Amino acid sequence: MDQLVIAGRSFNSRLMVGTGKFASNQAMVDAMEHSGCEIVTVALRRVDIDNPQDSLLSHIDRERYLLLPNTSGARDADEAVRLARLARAAGCEPWVKLEVTPDPYYLLPDPIETLKAAEILVKDGFIVLPYMPADPVLAKRLEEVGTATVMPLGAPIGTNKGLRTRDHIAIIIEQAKVPVVVDAGLGAPSHAAEAMEMGADAVLVNTALADTPDPAAMARAFRKGVEAGREAFVAGLGPQRQQAEASSPLTGFLRNS
Amino acid sequence: MQLTINGQSRMVEAASTVADLLKYLQLETDRVVVELNREILSADSHCATRLQDGDSLELIQFVGGG
């Protein structure tokens, strides 16, 4: 498969994987391995002092995977910037998946606060990958302030509903000068393939892999879906038609008229 | 000394620096990011950063997330 390039860095995989909600760290590691991914997202939270958990990072091979810290939990630009800076202080490269979701019910991204935070973080030297509503105008605005990608949602986080924003994502893909990563809501390999066939540069998946009895097998399935979709896009899909067009010759039938 | 750690008030006597506090709480220092009174500390400043009565700290770590 052709390489994905984000902020001058090349990746062989076009599937990014989130590390949340897996039944065990081993299930998470297996899913990462089988997905073929090279970018994994992580979150930042307070340490539970009375009950310190096993460190997540001890399970992730940093030579193999680029850690992409998210700013999940941020309700406004200030909180997102604070989380991004904490992640960088923790020794991560300055890559951040910017996420500002004030409403816990639908977890939809706040476009205004996302744009505000993106501007601050870009100026502060971060490589910013913003999670965003599938709004083509916002995608342009984010691109203009210097984000490395745009990450429109297919459907609300964790819903597994697929590309409900398909038409707007098509416009974003048509107009974008930075990679388009479809994030959130992709619940099946066919959803990932659909996004890639449309020309998305990559997809990010978490719940679909974590919330299945066999994350490793589902990760393999998504990997194939992403690869199939990308190859189809690069090859060029045939046009859709209203009227049938025969695949077999329309001459030499065994009849006289 | 009275500290506020992750939003909870605690009496801590055995720690005069941030590094002492992490040791006292049995936290691996390379896995935890520390914010002291809203200022982010770099990992190499834990030993030199002294704690004072009334300080507020956030101890943050990476967890799974999408």
Confidence at residue A141, expressed as pLDDT on a 0 to 100 scale: 98
CATH number at residue B29: 3.10.20.30
- State the DSSP H helix or E strand holding residue A215, giving kind and residue range, or none if neither: helix A215-235
Is residue A122 a contact partner of residue A81, using CB atoms and an 8 Å limit?
no
What pLDDT is attached to residue B3? 93
- The amino acid occupying position A131 is Y
Query: Any CB–CB contact under 8 A between B9 and chain A?
Result: no
User: What is residue A247's DSSP assignment?
Assistant: S
Residue B19 belongs to some domain of the structure: yes
**Domains and their CATH numbers in chain A:** 4-235 (3.20.20.70)
Mean pLDDT, residues A73-96: 94
- pLDDT given for residue B14 in this prediction: 82
With CB atoms and an 8 Å threshold, state whether A46 touches B32. Answer: no
Tens place of pLDDT for every residue, chain B, 66 residues? 999 999 999 998 888 999 999 998 888 777 899 999 999 998 889 999 999 999 999 999 999 999
- What is the per-residue pLDDT for A40? 98
Q: Is the pLDDT of residue A55 over 90?
A: no
- Is B60 in Cβ contact with A56 (below 8 Å)? no
Q: What's the number of domains chain B is made of?
A: 1
Provide the residue range defining the domain that includes B15: 2-60
Identify the three-state secondary structure at position B64. Answer: strand
Is B66 within a domain?
no
Annotated catalytic residue A21: no
How much is the pLDDT for A92? 86
Residues A28, A29, A31, A36, Cα dihedral to 10°: 140
ipTM here: 0.92
Per-residue pLDDT for A117 more than 90?
yes
- Residues B20-38 have pLDDT tens digits of 999 988 887 778 999 999 9
